[in-house]
Amino acid sequence: MNEKVALITGGARGIGRALALSLAEQGWSVAICYRTSHQPAQETMATLLDMGLRAMAEQCDVSDPKAAARFVARVEKEWSRIDALINCAGPYHRVNLLEESVEGWLEMFDNNLHPVFYMSRAAAPGMKERRWGRIVNFSMANADQLVAQPNLTAHYIAKAGVLVLTRTLARLLASSGVTVNAVSPGFINTGSTPEAELAAMTKNIPAGYVGTVSDVVSAVNFLLSDQARYINGANLHLSGGWGI
């Protein structure tokens, strides 16, 4: 993986940050973008630079197609390539569907589904030209079940859309040596959820425990590797059996 370049949206904290650090440890150059997490981004950037590797952090709202395209272009201009695009950004809010505002409804699609299209569209031409690339998109563990989600409706529909978009991109890019896969976490301890809430979730997980960030990192590392070259259009559940 030496000399490869990864671009990670939502790379300032949580799973995105862990992925950035893991890839840097393997010798990747890492570019992260963030929307509001300025301080965590600077801390992540400092850690990456301390490793003695190339790193880049930029405040970028990837829900804006022009901003997304500019960030991809900047990375390609400075480092001549993007080998892996990891679409990790994906905020959500809980509100009953019948109480949801139009603005809140649109926000879930603007920040969870549309950026995957904007970023993939911008990064794909370079990957096709080099005939190698990896795109990993984040959905959620039960998005393929199409179950009712009264308090997460727009977010859930957006994540189901990510799965359709993933399979479509995989179909279109496979002949160019590019794989596009989805990772669908269930309950993962990213440090942002109170321990009591995580403990309450455990009874619903067949494996009997909540997943860790390292579980996600391991899965994504595999999908980025040459060992996964024939895996394309897949949806990898990371849920301990929940949501299937």
DSSP type of residue 187: S
Task: For 74-194, list the strands marked E by DSSP.
Answer: 84-87, 133-138, 178-185, 188-189
For 122, the enclosing helix (H) or strand (E) is helix 114-130
Cα R_g (the chain), whole angstroms? 17
For 76, the enclosing helix (H) or strand (E) is helix 65-79
Under a CB-based contact definition with an 8 Å cutoff, are residues 15 and 190 in contact?
yes
Say how far apart CA 184 and CA 45 lie, in whole Å: 26
Nearest residue to 7 via CA among 107, 91, 77, 66: 77
> In the numeric block, which tokens belong to residue 110?
């603007």
156 is an active site residue: yes
Query: Pick the catalytic residue: 92, 118, 156, 230?
Result: 156
Say how far apart CA 69 and CA 227 lie, in whole Å: 30
Instruction: Enumerate the active-site residues.
Output: 156
